[in-house]
Amino acid sequence: MKNFRFFLALASCFGMPGMASIAHAQSNVTVYGNADASFDVVTVRGQTTAPALRFQRVSTNGSVLGFKGAEALGSGLKAVFQFESNVSFDAGGSIGTSRSSFVGLSGDLGRVILGRFAGPARLLAITLDVNYTCDSIGSNNALMGKLGGALASSPGVRSAVTSSRFDVNTPNAIAYTSPMIAGLQATVLYSANEKKSAVPGARVDPSAVELGLNYAHGPLWIGSVFERVTEKNDLAVPALAGVGANEALTEARLGGMIDFGNATVRLLIGQTRAVGSLGDAKQTVWGMGGTFNVSANGKITGQRYHAGDISGSSLGVPGSRFSGGADTGATLYSLGYEHNLSKHTLLKANLAYLKNDAKTATHGGGGYDFGKTATGFAGDGLVLSGVQLGMRYNF
């Protein structure tokens, strides 16, 4: 991390008006981030309309640029802020506040923040993923919370790549996180219904509530989450793509990790459910993984996740990715190696294998896949395999 003090002090030496006072006011603001890029080779087999497809890509896996700071207000109270942006430097793009960005207060009684940031469900999945970054090939967000792909992408609040509705930074949110008490820490998050419209024929009222509880004691860490997203509307095309009108989406997760020092073991289970005009559809995803330090600077990573079949009384439009029934799950395997060249620089290699069941459709960004994929492939029962070689620099 870099502190602004040096830059502002240098500017004040050149006589820029007000720089001395600005330097003093901004002395606790830091610049941070990471540059993460990899060369991936992905193969898609089992297409119904085309032969096997192999393509290469350069991916910037969750690379970010951020600014954060705090100001002591007295009596243990602090004002805090953070602005964080994706940096897709492989193809170029703008810098904004698309990731965890907020302002709030922090003190002995906990922290309250407002803005756009990761909720307990996303943080739980990231914590228990064996990959250093949960945005790259072989990450558990390929399967978690997707309900067969129906919840994989949507305008506004959902990811345009592979993450589910529950695994993105929640917009228009306010959250309270308690202090740590006897190893326990709780988070309550509310996503406001500011997109509400009362126009007849176009009424819409979306909102979300999320609860998280974590426990840490020695080498043991346990996390649990419950999130509920409601969508009340009478739109011809629902605001939540792939989901019917007046739908309630819920996500419950429970997971844990034991850290043995030179190795970790991790387990995560989640159940996604949609109740409303589509009936009562649900899917369970579970996975386990671990890491093992083979040297002072290197470790092996591995995990397996499985999405079970979608079940329920009514499962949407027949033939859609949400139609459900038997053979609507998928299985993900990941095996990797990470090597630290220094405190800041990491080299990584990863193999990933994702097998969709016979009636599970993948359409280049929906269903179960590795995210940013080539276009033009579709079909049920696709098998995706990938090789990744990359580097990450933290600052």
Pick the more confident residue, 149 or 175.
175
pLDDT of residue 243: 47
Pick the more confident residue, 95 or 256.
256
Pick the more confident residue, 42 or 230.
42
Give the 3-state secondary structure of the chain.
CEEHHHHHHHHHHCCCCCHHHHHHHCCCEEEEEEEEEEEEEEEEECCCCCCCEEEEEEECCCCEEEEEEEEEEECCEEEEEEEEEECCCCCCCCCCCCCCEEEEEEECCEEEEEEEEECHHHHHHHHHCCCCCCCCCCCHHHCCCCHHHCCCCCCCCCCCCCCCHHHCEEEEEEEEECCCECCEEEEEEEECCCCCECCCCCCEEEEEEEEEEEEEECCEEEEEEEEEEEEEECCCCCCCCCCCCCEEEEEEEEEEEEECCCEEEEEEEEEEEEEECCEEEEEEEEEEEEEEECCCCEEEEEEEEEECCEEECCCCCCCCCCCCECCCCEEEEEEEEEEECCCCEEEEEEEEEEEECCCCEECCCCCCCCCCCCCCCCEECCEEEEEEEEEEEEC
Enclosing domain of residue 314: 2-394
pLDDT of residue 156: 32
Q: How confident is the model at residue 141 (pLDDT cuts 50, 70, 90)?
A: confident
Output the pTM of the full model.
0.84
Q: Which two tokens stand for residue 71?
A: 């100001």
- Taking only the tens place, the pLDDT of each residue in 22-33 is 444 445 899 999
Q: Percent of the chain beyond pLDDT 70?
A: 72
| Number of domains the chain contains | 1
What number is the average pLDDT over the span 325-334? Answer: 86
CATH number at residue 197: 2.40.160.10
- Taking only the tens place, the pLDDT of each residue in 259-301 is 999 999 999 999 998 877 656 788 999 999 999 999 999 999 9
Pick the more confident residue, 363 or 106.
106
